[in-house]
């Protein structure tokens, strides 16, 4: 596992209303709120982390819910346009009814690369694809009273990046990250890393005539790829620098360390470490219960708590 990209670490998206976002992912999708903190650059905005019991890399979907300050995004090129979740075989009928009951916009079950999937839009328009993998996903899910283990999402299956021209993005995936082309259907190219079994797929959709998307409400802000530790992180930073791409210094995000760069196709990529994890300032049983602030904002806790929206 040393010095390899281990699939997707987390995905961060933009939402509007915080309570609506929280309720959809915890109640409708049945994910666990693993961490409730704030945007490090905008501490009067929540930063939610949804995932499995412990926030295992490859299960973590995070949000900046900017409320009525955010405009509606638009899907297009230079974006992550779809987030695929792995769900068990036989579960799509359950999910279709659940989305109908919740009033969520969804399509009928479809198929690509020999796998069935169900598309749904979250309340802000973020596009999710619940996918039944050809090889059953063995990850242990978070379960709730309404979403049992036979239906519950296991974590990420794939992401889709839409681009006008895919060559430069594909080179980052293959030459830097160690992915390989697995399959192609028309203008959709599926890449895989053999370093892990889950959260291992990236689809590139090449759409030469499509307009550039707007990253705003209902859009993916960035996708983070996973590495084992800081030593591996810094080796990948050197690889990115050698391609003369701008990349940040190592940043401490409290629950992982990371670097950021914009890949040549325009999507913001992050590389993030497994360490130290989410059970550093809460026990596993307590995860997501309390508002956790980075040290620089602890002195402003009363003010921050007074302006953040209520979730109950």
> Which CATH number fits the domain that encloses residue 59?
3.10.180.10
Is 30 domain-assigned? yes
Output helix, strand, coil percentages for the chain, rounded to the nearest 5.
20, 35, 45
**Structural domain span for residue 274:** 8-307
Residue-wise pLDDT for 165-221, tens only, equals 999 999 999 999 999 999 999 999 999 999 999 999 999 999 999 999 999 999 999
Is 82 domain-assigned? yes
Number of folded domains that form the chain: 1
Distance CA 308, CA 70 (A): 15
The mean pLDDT of 7-36, rounded to a whole number, is: 98
Is 113 domain-assigned? yes
Is 56 domain-assigned? yes
Tell me: pLDDT of 56 over 90.
yes
The mean pLDDT of 80-103, rounded to a whole number, is: 98
Residues with Cβ within 8 Å of residue 113, at least 6 apart in sequence: 183, 185, 190
Distance CA 48, CA 62 (A): 5
Is 156 domain-assigned? yes
What's phi and psi for 183, nearest 5 deg?
-150, 160
Tell me: pLDDT of 23 over 80.
yes
Is 1 domain-assigned? no
For β-strands 79-86 and 110-112, DSSP reports them as unpaired
**In DSSP terms, which residues pair with 85 in a beta bridge?**
130, 156
Is 173 domain-assigned? yes
Q: How many CB atoms lie within 10 A of CB 52?
A: 21
Residue-wise pLDDT for 228-277, tens only, equals 999 999 999 999 999 999 999 999 999 999 999 999 999 999 999 999 99
Is 312 domain-assigned? no
Tell me: pLDDT of 2 over 70.
no
For residue 292, how many C-alpha atoms fall within 13 Å in the half-sphere facing its CB? 21
**In DSSP terms, which residues pair with 161 in a beta bridge?**
80, 204
């Amino acid at each position: 596992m040393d010095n390899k990209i281990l699939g997707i670490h987390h995905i961060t998206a933009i939402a509007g209303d915080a309570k609506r976002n929280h309720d959809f992912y915890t109640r409708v999708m049945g994910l666990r709120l693993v961490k409730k903190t704030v945007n490090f650059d905008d501490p009067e905005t929540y930063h939610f982390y949804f995932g499995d019991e412990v926030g295992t890399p490859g299960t973590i979907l995070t949000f900046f819910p900017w409320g009525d300050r955010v405009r509606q995004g638009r899907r297009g090129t230079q974006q992550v346009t779809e987030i695929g979740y792995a769900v068990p075989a036989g579960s799509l009928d359950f999910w279709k009814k659940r989305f109908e009951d919740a009033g969520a916009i969804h399509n009928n079950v479809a198929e690509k690369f020999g796998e069935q999937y169900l598309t749904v839009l979250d309340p802000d328009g973020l596009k999710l694809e619940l996918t039944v993998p050809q090889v059953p996903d063995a990850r242990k899910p978070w379960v709730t009273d309404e979403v049992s283990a036979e239906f519950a999402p296991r974590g990420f299956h794939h992401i889709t990046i839409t681009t006008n021209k895919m060559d430069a993005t594909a080179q980052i995936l293959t030459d830097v990250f160690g992915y390989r082309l697995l399959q192609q259907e028309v203008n959709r190219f599926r890449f895989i890393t053999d370093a892990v079994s889950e959260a291992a797929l990236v689809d590139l959709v090449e759409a030469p005539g499509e307009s550039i998307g707007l990253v705003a409400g209902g859009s993916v802000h960035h996708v983070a790829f996973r590495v084992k530790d800081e030593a591996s992180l810094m080796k990948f930073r050197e690889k990115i620098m050698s391609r003369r791409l701008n990349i940040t210094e190592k940043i401490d995000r409290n629950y992982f360390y990371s670097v950021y760069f914009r890949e040549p196709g325009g999507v913001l990529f992050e590389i993030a470490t497994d360490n130290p994890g989410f059970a550093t300032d809460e026990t596993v049983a307590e995860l997501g219960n309390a508002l956790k602030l980075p040290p620089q904002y602890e002195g402003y806790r009363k003010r921050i708590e007074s302006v953040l929206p209520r979730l109950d």
